[in-house]
Amino acid sequence: MAGLMTARICADHFQNVVIVDPEIKKAGREFAKKRVAQYDSLHAYLTFMVDGLRRLWPNFDTMIKEAGGVVCPGTLPLHFGGIPILTPQLYSTTMFKSTAGLEKTCSLPDTILIRRPKLEALLYRLLIGSSANCIQTIQGTVTGLVPSDNMSTIQTVNVRTTEGEEKDMKNVSLVIDCTGAAQRGTRWLKSAGFIPSSTKPSPNIKGRAGTTSDLRVIYDHKLYYVTVTFDNIGDLVQDLPSPGGFGQGFIYTYYTHYKWGNNSFILARMDDTRIVQLCCGGWANTHLPKNSEDIISYVHSVKGAQPPQVWVIKAVEMLLESERRGDITMTFKPLKIPAASFVQYHKIAQSLPSNFIAIGDSVAQINPVFGQGCTKALYGATILNSILHNCVPAAELGRLPENFSTLYFERSHGTVEDLWRVLAAVSVTSTKALVKGESRTREGAVARWYSYYAYRAAETVRRSIVFCQDLLMQA
């Protein structure tokens, strides 16, 4: 995802954009992607991302509907420990003009309902359709970088194709690491001599210090979940009980505060092909459903101020009964979320080659529970676009400014680091593996205390919650 959005940005600024990917020949169609752990799991997309994709591709709405996706208001019906939390769209309506030029009445900005394989295939088709003249693809992997004589830039990128052919891409203007969770940029930079293996400054490279171990922060949030996909449910979708109807996408979310327990679940509609997904997850010693017999007991096991609403359990029972009759298909996708990792490039930005940056999970792989992964990648691409627009004088000289990499990481790290800190605070419960220097009673304690009592207040102070939300909508 990060690579596709970044390539679209680069197509506006460079004559030739090369994408190196070992699975690129499969792009444009759905397939089982090996390098993305959550590829077949439930995905939520923040409204910021939808707005950005519309700006990159003005025909995005039309194409996503043709691909089987749905555009709808971005709401997530949240039940905090079983307590329904009011959402702004119930009480306010706004008028705005979309990037497609259509005025619409909507209570909230739009999100999309589409599974990750379909969305990624669509974005590749959109990229090739809009920028085919400058996009080149190579099925292979980057094996190394060759620095310039003065170690200020990357001169050549070494590539090995899946057929075993070695290629040298010389005189590169910009190298962008979009390798995701693999975060291979650190290996490339280390092997090329940009990141020394000692904490002491290299005697041959003035001012370069820091190691890969100093650079990357890692912790294990011990997060597990399973996505149960009910496919081809047909007309059953019309009969499933839901107060808001199943057309709204995210139908029901039961989120448990760690004081109550560590199990939560989401029931959601995906695509327009009548697919419903049930995502069950939690931290550490959570007993996730492994087969159809486990699902109802899991839904009943969640703990909070109130149990799940009766209609939700009824809907799940109807889906299971239909599967037992053979009317629909059901698949399980269990997942242990990889450890979170943050490459702190901003700390050594002045020592990096001026034509290297990293975007998305290549910089920070964060807790995926709140759906910020794809949006984080788009944010990095947006920062890149902004800086490139201000590089015209240097571009006329045939190169990027000497401070390009420094500027990018200085501008982008604030938001990325904020995400990292907030999500780490959420994860610091009795289950998270602590980073050196952390304390379970100190890290994120204020945020967790505040969120707990703010949501509990919604149980009895509903009018004050609505008033605050109305003020936010009008701001």
For residue 7, tell me if it sits in a domain. yes
pLDDT at 206: 34
Q: Convert the pLDDT of each residue in 43-74 to its tens digit.
A: 889 988 999 999 999 999 999 999 999 888 88
Residue 143: pLDDT above 70?
yes
How many domains in the chain?
2
8 Å CB contact between 43 and 16: no
Higher pLDDT, 345 or 244: 345
Residues 271 and 403 in one domain: no
Higher pLDDT, 447 or 133: 133
Q: Name the domain boundary from 301, 336, 371.
A: 336
pLDDT at 409: 95
Residues 265 and 138 in one domain: no
pTM of the model: 0.85
Q: Give the pLDDT mean for 453-465.
A: 60
Collect all residues with Cβ–Cβ distance below 8 Å to 246 and sequence separation of at least 6: 237, 240, 269, 276
pLDDT at 26: 75
pLDDT at 356: 97
Residues 22 and 143 in one domain: yes
Q: Name the domain boundary from 308, 336, 364.
A: 336
Q: Convert the pLDDT of each residue in 414-434 to its tens digit.
A: 888 888 888 877 765 545 555
pLDDT at 445: 72
Residue 291: pLDDT above 50?
yes
For residue 247, tell me if it sits in a domain. yes
Q: Name the domain boundary from 306, 336, 366.
A: 336
Collect all residues with Cβ–Cβ distance below 8 Å to 209 and sequence separation of at least 6: 196, 199, 200, 201, 202, 348, 351
Residues 233 and 133 in one domain: no
Least confident of 2-11, 172-181, 251-260, 441-450: 441-450
CA–CA separation, 358 vs 154, rounded Å? Answer: 14
Residues 382 and 295 in one domain: no
Residues 343 and 329 in one domain: no
The sign of the CA dihedral 104, 107, 110, 111 is negative
pLDDT at 91: 44
Residues 55 and 181 in one domain: yes
Residue 472: pLDDT above 50?
no
CA–CA separation, 202 vs 130, rounded Å? Answer: 45
Residues 274 and 184 in one domain: no
pLDDT at 470: 40
Q: Give the pLDDT mean for 235-263.
A: 79
Residues 204 and 150 in one domain: yes
Residue 475: pLDDT above 50?
no
Residue 352 tokens, joined: 């990096």
pLDDT band with cut points at 50, 70 and 90 for residue 297: very high
Find tokens 């699975």 and name the residue. 23
Q: Give the pLDDT mean for 255-266.
A: 84
Residues 20 and 149 in one domain: yes
pLDDT band with cut points at 50, 70 and 90 for residue 85: confident
pLDDT band with cut points at 50, 70 and 90 for residue 369: confident
Residues 10 and 130 in one domain: yes
For residue 464, tell me if it sits in a domain. no
List the domain range (segments joined by +) for residue 80.
75-84+222-336
For residue 300, tell me if it sits in a domain. yes
Higher pLDDT, 442 or 64: 64
pLDDT band with cut points at 50, 70 and 90 for residue 464: very low
Q: Give the pLDDT mean for 301-326.
A: 92
For residue 368, tell me if it sits in a domain. yes
Least confident of 232-236, 354-358, 441-445, 471-475: 471-475
pLDDT at 469: 42
pLDDT band with cut points at 50, 70 and 90 for residue 101: low
For residue 432, tell me if it sits in a domain. no
Q: Give the pLDDT mean for 450-473.
A: 55
Residues 202 and 177 in one domain: yes
For residue 345, tell me if it sits in a domain. yes
Distances (CA, A) of 363 to 1, 38, 164, 426: 14, 18, 29, 20
Residue 207: pLDDT above 50?
no
Q: Calculate ∠ Cα 252-46-455, nearest 5°.
A: 50
For residue 473, tell me if it sits in a domain. no
Residue 33 sits in a domain whose CATH number is 3.50.50.60
pLDDT at 460: 59
pLDDT at 213: 54
pLDDT at 84: 84
pLDDT band with cut points at 50, 70 and 90 for residue 158: very high
Collect all residues with Cβ–Cβ distance below 8 Å to 113 and sequence separation of at least 6: 69, 70, 71, 72, 249, 268, 269, 270, 271, 272
Least confident of 205-219, 258-272, 289-303: 205-219
